[in-house]
Amino acid sequence: MSKKVLVLGEAREGALRNVSYEAIAAAKQISSGGEVVSVLLGDSVGELATELGKYGADRVITVEHPHLKQYTSDGYGQALLAVIEQENPEAIVFGHTALGKDLSPKIASKLQIGLVSDVTSIEGEGDAAVYIRPIYSGKAFEKVKVKDGIEFITIRPNNIAPLAKDDSKSADVSSMSVDITNLRTIIKEVVRKSTEGVDLSEAKVVIAGGRGVKSEEGFAPLKELADVLGGAVGASRGACDADYCDYSLQIGQTGKVVTPDLYIAAGISGAIQHLAGMSNSKIIVAINKDPEANIFKVADYGIVGDLFEVIPMLTEEFKKLKVNA
Amino acid sequence: MNIYVLVKRTFDTEEKIVVSGGKIQEDGAEFIINPYDEYAIEEAIQVRDAQGGEVTVLTMGGEDAEKQLRTALAMGADKAVLINIEDDVEELDQFTAAHIISEYLKDKNADLILAGNVAIDGGSGQVGPRVAESLGINYVTTITNLEINGTTVTIKRDVEGDTEVLETSLPLLVTAQQGLNEPRYPSLPGIMKAKKKPLEEVELDDLDIDEDDVEAKTETIEIYLPPKKEAGKVLEGELADQVKELVHLLHSEAKVV
């Protein structure tokens, strides 16, 4: 049976996040030929709506309100519940982002339904859809089915491929007005710590440093390589605990879980807790002075050597590759 | 201040996961307090020490979870509650857990409820916010700083690496992110005292919950381990050649750059 699926689009600094398109692809599969309706919430998001159609949304509903300028679970919750009430979807898809993680349990609780969080792939379509998600920080996986009620999932960024962009397609865009009141949280300030744009959890390339980086300054060559590859810099707990970098960069069982196409671990020994945060990356490169380091066991390619020699050489080689490309 | 902390007993982070008969093998595994919940317990103790009041740690599970509750009491919590569902609930999901915990908390007039932002086993991060919603109170997730002044609460939270500074008020549920504090280790006197602290055990009957009301909405149909990675290729030769080879492999073989 085909299903009507509601998808939450997510914008950041005026642009749609990639996970919005990935969520549409997931919704298409769950819908099994049914309608995919994207929802955009914000104070001014109308201009972004057309883009969602090109990635497969059949319809886009925008809710614009001054109180939606910044995310709060109250504001977004009220807006989304109003849309859900109007649309009566049979399935809902969010990104498993900071926003999605914060908002989805509220909606699920309000509707008294199940919620399958952090889905990395979907098997089957429509009523037969089965959701696959990592458990024990990626040391195992589970397949989950929704027994009854609305199928509500959040998808992990970078795992479900978006549909190819089709400029000839467009979605019907409509706006809905929702009364948003009684916000219990007031956002005072947002301090941007994440560096220039590339979000660690969405990055296609991650260059991560461990204790072997030795100092805060030691991260500079990693940053340079990340810039050349359009990637993000991450770190092991060891590097964070030693104050070489901010905890916001930490990858592992506590910390972020990343699944980039390319993960370069520099000076990281590969403790089991670190592996939990990155072992599902597509390609893993290990650079470590210690040939016995555990990280080599999960790496696709390894270089035994000093990261301060290897990383700058890699940066130069990749620069050459870019010039020749 | 009446403070509750939601705690989960989880696998030790060092444990290897073994699946047999479609289930994660628990025999012989070490169990710990979910690491994120430790931050929540520590914060609760600090808030109580500064503001006065009482910290109650609450968990749901079986008899085995008593050990983790005792550890929390040894850290400095005042009371513990075990909602024992061993005999009543076979299949549970986040809906089930949140429903039962909310039923317990609904008449407790908690000013502040703390939990970890995610449990490292199931990893859904749902139960905290679901409980807050059921109780009709506000929640803030992934917090890295908490300041309470009367009923006004100022919070810093981690949003994918950025820091959001916000203001809200009690009653409130917060979920702890790494960086919130440094959880203390139980001291020897703490461990001795913990043995005498009250640990209440309740079952679904005591909460007037019918098993059917908490039937899981989702169902795990299979658990499996990720395919074993084959040992990778450690490059050899002059370092400069290794680097060239690596770039070539990433570009032409793996096709990731």
How much is the pLDDT for A322?
84
How much is the pLDDT for A139?
87
How much is the pLDDT for A196?
58
Mean pLDDT of A49-54: 95
Amino acid in the structure at residue A163 = L
Mean pLDDT of B234-250: 95
DSSP for residue A251: B
Amino acid in the structure at residue A277 = G
**Domain locations in chain B as residue ranges:** 2-213, 228-256
According to DSSP, the β-strands at B152-159 and B138-149 are antiparallel
Distances (CA, A) of A250 to A274, A302, B49: 9, 22, 30
Binding-site residue numbers of A for FAD are 211, 236-237, 250-254, 267-274, 288
How much is the pLDDT for A95?
97
How much is the pLDDT for A31?
97
How much is the pLDDT for A97?
94
Mind telling me how many Å the CA of B231 is from chain A's nearest CA? 6
Mean pLDDT of A199-223: 93
Q: Is residue A254 over pLDDT 90?
A: no
The percentage of residues in chain A with a pLDDT greater than 70, rounded to a whole number, is 98
Mean pLDDT of B203-230: 92
Q: What pLDDT band is residue A194 in, cutting at 50, 70 and 90?
A: low
ipTM: 0.94
The percentage of residues in chain B with a pLDDT greater than 70, rounded to a whole number, is 100
Q: Give the pLDDT confidence of B117-140 residue by residue, as tens digits.
A: 999 999 999 999 999 999 999 999
**Chain A partners within 8 Å of B130 (Cβ):** 105-106, 108-109
Mind telling me how many Å the CA of B244 is from chain A's nearest CA? 7
A174 at the B interface (CB within 8 A)?
Answer: no
Q: Measured between alpha carbons, how far is A105 from A82 in angstroms, rounded to an integer? A: 16
Place of tokens 């901010």: A246
Domains of chain A: 5-176 (3.40.50.620), 205-323 (3.40.50.1220)
Q: Extract the tokens encoding B15.
A: 């444990």
How much is the pLDDT for A39?
98
Of B129, B178, B250, the CB nearest to A247: B178
Average pLDDT across chain B, whole number? 95
Mutate to test the interface with A, among B24, B33, B256 (most CBs of A within 10 A): B256
What is the side-by-side order of every strand in the sheet holding A140-146? Answer: A121-123, A130-135, A140-146, B218-224
How much is the pLDDT for B109?
97
Please state which CATH class domain B2-213 belongs to.
Answer: alpha beta
A190 at the B interface (CB within 8 A)?
Answer: yes
How much is the pLDDT for A197?
59
Q: What pLDDT band is residue B160 in, cutting at 50, 70 and 90?
A: confident
B138 at the A interface (CB within 8 A)?
Answer: yes
